[in-house]
Amino acid sequence: MKRLIFATHNPGKIGEMRQLVADLGMDVLSADEAGVHEDVEEDGTTFAENALKKARFVASTTGEWAVADDSGITIDALGGRPGVYTARWAGEGASDEELVRHTLEQLKDVDEGKRGASFHSVVALVSPEGEEWTFEGIVEGTVVMSTRGTPRPKLPYDVLFCPIGHNHTFAQMPDEEKNALSHRGKAFEKLKKFLQNKKTL
């Protein structure tokens, strides 16, 4: 395995992935760079299903190793919503601001001590032969009463989510601190350990 195709069109995610595996001597290409411009419909009922669906599509299309991730927030007071609908529960094409506003509206009658939430991320790895692995990262925290911090592009919930044991939201943290704590960071660290072991086999 000398290169991975990341099933995303998000340059920020590609940058994170390249940084993560830099010491493994692997090339990471975006789906676009690998000639895959189509998207699959993310209609799975779990993060793992959606991540696997994206990685399978890219692996079968390119004949190469593919990786994909799916992530979202689950809010206790809302019965686990929005979950897999995190990016679109305010409506298809909703902006980051609309997603934040919708979330706060849903929680307007929920007291500060009852706003527990979890961020989940599942990273899927699929081989050209169709072998599959998934790696999960979870971080527990709370949804704050109002937005705090500077939002990152395409990461709207960072201004609302405060991890347990910390007084700052993800949006108030520098990238390095957030990545060390985040659900996606934990999932990708598990992937990296797997790749390191695979290189030594």
Q: Are 11 and 30 in contact (CB under 8 A)?
A: yes
Please, which residues bridge with residue 68 across strands? 124
Per-residue pLDDT tens over the stretch 17-71: 888 788 888 899 999 999 999 888 888 999 999 999 999 999 999 999 999 999 9
What would the DSSP string read from start to end of 139-178?
Answer: EEEEE-SS--SPPBTTBGGGGTEEETT-SS-GGGS-HHHH
Concatenated DSSP letters of 88-117: TTT-TT--HHHHHHHHHHHTTTS-GGG-EE
**Cβ contacts of 158-166, under 8 Å, gap ≥ 24:** 159/100, 160/100, 160/103, 160/104, 161/73, 161/117, 161/119, 163/139, 164/139, 164/140, 166/141
What are the pLDDT digits (tens) for 72-103? Answer: 999 999 999 999 999 899 998 899 999 999 99
Q: Which residues pair with 4 in a beta bridge?
A: 28
What pLDDT score was predicted for residue 200? 53
- Chain-wide mean pLDDT for the chain? 92
Task: Show the domains of the chain with their CATH numbers.
Answer: 3-200 (3.90.950.10)
Reading the block at residue 193, the tokens are 């350990």
15-31, pLDDT tens digit by residue? 878 887 888 888 999 99
Catalytic residues: 70
Separation of alpha carbons 161 and 45, rounded Å: 23
The pTM of the full predicted model, rounded to 2 decimals, is 0.88
